Amino acid sequence: MKRLLGLFAAMAVALGGCAALKPGDQPVTMRLSPAFAPAAASPSPSFAVAPVQGRGVTGALRYAYVDSAAPGEIHQAATLFWEEPPTAVLARALVAGLRTRYATVTGPDLSLGADRRVVAVLDRFEEVTGVETKAVVAFDVTQVAGGKAIWAGRYCAARPIASAAGTARAAAFDGAIEQAVAAFVQDVAAGSVTAASC
């Protein structure tokens, strides 16, 4: 009888140990692929997009989120990650967006001379929770020609996040990037700077 009780006790400890070793949430890596509709491309001027700089955690691979009730606190998710840094995604999007209007646009990976240099700083790239959960993207950009800044502007966009799924989150950030970059490209084509909407 003592042997049987000992066996039951050992099984209980083993089962308890299994429960304690239950794996946590699995990491999710999200891919961003902002896309732009092609248009008639002008042969000039030529553009070179510099590597985008990130403010604070905006250049990190971990997913950032902010509660609108405490906007000064930026949190980073334990299991949600970007496939590439948001700064690299924005640089790629700036190149793709400019190519819808201009024939010669190079990115940070190809260091060539150009009529204009585009220098951007990513200021916000975060999920904001509140009445509505949304993806928020904001960046400052300067155009440089002949070694001098010819104009600077701020571009931002917010898109609702439909669900907690990684795919839904990525889609919302894609949409926000596309909206903000499209506004920048429109200003470049118009030769003006529009006041930021958010």
Output the domain CATH number for residue 160. 3.40.50.10610
| Residue 1 domain flag | no
| Residue 17 domain flag | no
From 38-42, 91-95, 192-196, the region with the lowest mean pLDDT:
192-196
| Residue 5 domain flag | no
% of the chain with per-residue pLDDT over 90: 73
| Residue 7 domain flag | no
Of residues 8 and 79, more confidently modeled? 79
Domain that holds residue 66: 27-190
CA-based nearest residue to 182, from 37, 47, 55, 51: 37
Average pLDDT, the chain: 87
| Residue 198 domain flag | no
Whole-structure pTM value? 0.85
In this predicted structure, the answer to whether residue 69 has a pLDDT above a threshold of 60 is yes
Residue 186 pLDDT: 94
Task: Say if residue 178 is exposed, middle or buried (CB neighbours under 10 Å; 0-12, 13-18, 19+).
Answer: buried
| Residue 151 domain flag | yes
Total count of domains within the chain = 1
The model's pLDDT over 123-134, given as tens digits with 9 standing for 90+, comes to 999 999 989 999
* CA separation, residue 186 to residues 39, 46, 118, 126, 190 (Å): 12, 16, 14, 24, 6
| Residue 145 domain flag | yes
| Residue 20 domain flag | no
In this predicted structure, the answer to whether residue 14 has a pLDDT above a threshold of 60 is no
